Amino acid sequence: MIRKILFFMLICYNTNAQPISFPLKASANKKFIVDQNNKPVFLNGTATWRLGYNVSYEDAKKYLADRKERGYNSIIVEITPDLGGDRPEHGNQPNLYGEYTFIDTDISKPNEKFFAHADSILQLCNDMNFAVLLFPLYLGCCEDGWIEILQRKPNTVEKCREYGKWVARRYQSLPNIIWASGGDHDETPESLAFAEGIASVDNVHLQTYHTGPGHTSTERIPDAAWMTLSCTYTYFPAMDQHFRYYHVYAQLYMEEQRNTRMPYIMAESEYENERSETTQFIRRQAYWSLLGGACGHMFGNRDTWMMNKDWPNALHTPGNESMEIFYELIKTIPWYDLKTDWAHLVFTSGRGEFNPTQYPGGDEYATGAITKDGKLALLYMPTYRTVCVNLQKFSEAVSATWFDPSSGKYTTDKKQFSNKGVVYLTPPARNNDRGFDDWVLIIQTKK
């Protein structure tokens, strides 16, 4: 475990010290997620798409125990497989025991042997207090899922609706479920019917839609009455020059302007060890999400999302270490009271380029946020620079410290300021402990 260095001036709210009391729901103001005790819950998640069929119960337990120890509290799981080999049926892949999801790819004929194993994995997730963003019918982006199968006989839109009802009845007793439709694909008649089928049986659990990359749930289907949680999904950086996706912070900005009726999470962005990302890129996505108004962030790693044979070697990567540090910081602050400083009224200069359109550009934009009472503000700087802080936005005198997102260390040299005028602040060094140049500025009033 990483070393936890506590900065004694930072108020320790620790809203996640106790187990989550499922099922989850939207807060009264629809801005974040709470449990049944109305405790705010930040979904510190990890993408483990193939956990439900690609590993044994024993290996799943080992994996989840490690995730629990590192602070993760939520995972992504699909039931219908995505392309795992060279079979022409795309998503119609068997689980590790050779069982297929449906008999003869007929969605009205679930294979009980396949679902019995999925049952055991989902029950394990509940027993270990993980929220599960569950995809019972993954569509796929690139002929790797089920959309092509669903659109040919004997399957129909009505069968998709009935499958939604069937799967909702099967798993509605698991309180840790968050229903998810779609999966790397914008809405189709089949996926909407499936979601409506779930909602006709279960209106207790949160339900969302995972679109194609570059979009959000409320952007694509703003009037879906059954939807109670919005997924944002965009790659940073772009996968390659042929794909043009919004930056994480830009998509969250647009989501906040558009969406007034439900919380939203950063469900997917760049995964570790898949393309040209660095650990610094992985951190940017997480801090952009936190300070951009999201109430959850899903980290991804190539080997663990696949749960392939190399997954045990992917548990202790630099990305995982950074996410553990990220969540330790979250537990010490009232993140649910933060309001993003989009207008640059608190952190007035040194923010970098805000790219409101599409990649490229804006990689270095610094997201900042302040609590409603003016007692705490944070700024994530993806690169080294000097920033100007408007002290008049704070309710009283403040102290400023720097947090190293690569090591979890706080600077011990705390600067004290009145809540008058402005001040220019620069990180204590160009590079942090791991040799990158990203930093977090924390400004807080006295207790």
Q: What secondary structure does DSSP assign to 148-207, as a single string?
A: HHHTSTT--HHHHHHHHHHHHHHHTT-TTEEEEEESSS---HHHHHHHHHHHHH--SS-E
Lowest mean pLDDT among 7-11, 22-26, 168-172, 366-370: 7-11
Query: Above pLDDT 70, what percent of the chain?
Result: 94
- Residue 413: pLDDT band (50, 70, 90) is confident
- pLDDT, position 5: 36
- pLDDT, position 339: 98
- pLDDT, position 121: 98
C-alpha count within 13 angstroms, C-beta hemisphere, residue 326:
29
- Residue 201: which of 180, 173, 242 has the closest Cα? 173
- Residue 382: which of 408, 350, 410 has the closest Cα? 350
- Residue 142: pLDDT band (50, 70, 90) is confident
The Cα 386–Cα 384 span in angstroms is 7
The conformational region for residue 177 under phi > 0 = left, psi -120 to 50 = alpha, else beta, is beta
The Cα 77–Cα 198 span in angstroms is 17
Q: Across residues 68-77, what is the average pLDDT?
A: 97
Residue 241 scores a pLDDT above 60? no
- pLDDT, position 17: 54
Residue 11 scores a pLDDT above 50? no
- Residue 441: pLDDT band (50, 70, 90) is very high
201 close to 173: Cβ distance less than 8 angstroms? no
The Cα 97–Cα 95 span in angstroms is 5
- Residue 6: pLDDT band (50, 70, 90) is very low
- Residue 288: which of 241, 253, 256 has the closest Cα? 253
With a CB cutoff of 8 Å and minimum separation 6, the contacts of 323 are 44, 46, 70, 71, 72, 282, 286, 299
Residue 385 scores a pLDDT above 70? yes
C-alpha count within 13 angstroms, C-beta hemisphere, residue 8:
2
The gap from C-alpha 100 to its chain's centroid, in whole angstroms, comes to 29
Count Cβ atoms below 10 Å from residue 107 Cβ, excluding itself.
24
Q: Which amino acid is at 166?
A: W
257 close to 286: Cβ distance less than 8 angstroms? no
What is the DSSP secondary structure assignment for residue 68, as one 8-state letter?
A: H
Q: Tell me the pLDDT of the chain averaged across its residues.
A: 93
Residue 88 scores a pLDDT above 80? no
Tokens 């125990």 found at: 65
- pLDDT, position 147: 95
The residue with greater pLDDT, 442 or 12, is 442
Residue 3 scores a pLDDT above 50? no
Q: Across residues 262-268, what is the average pLDDT?
A: 98
- Residue 142: which of 90, 178, 193, 92 has the closest Cα? 90
Q: Across residues 407-430, what is the average pLDDT?
A: 94
Torsion, CA 239, CA 221, CA 159, CA 86, rounded to 10? 0
- pLDDT, position 9: 37
> Using omega within 30 degrees of 0 as the cis cutoff, is the peptide bond preceding 360 cis?
yes
Tally of helices (H runs) and strands (E runs) in the chain: 11, 20
The residue with greater pLDDT, 413 or 178, is 178
Q: pLDDT (tens digit, 9 = 90+) per residue, 27-71? A: 999 999 999 999 999 999 999 999 999 999 999 999 999 999 999
- pLDDT, position 245: 78
The residue with greater pLDDT, 13 or 268, is 268
Residue 224 scores a pLDDT above 50? yes
Domains of the chain: 25-331 (3.20.20.80), 337-445 (2.60.40)
C-alpha count within 13 angstroms, C-beta hemisphere, residue 99:
18
- Residue 2: pLDDT band (50, 70, 90) is very low
Residue 391, SS3 per DSSP: helix
How big is the chain, counted in residues? 447
Q: Across residues 342-369, what is the average pLDDT?
A: 92
The Cα 178–Cα 227 span in angstroms is 11
> Using omega within 30 degrees of 0 as the cis cutoff, is the peptide bond preceding 175 cis?
no
Residue 237 scores a pLDDT above 70? no
- pLDDT, position 422: 98
23 close to 206: Cβ distance less than 8 angstroms? yes
Residue 124 scores a pLDDT above 90? yes
Tokens 């796929």 found at: 140
- pLDDT, position 240: 56
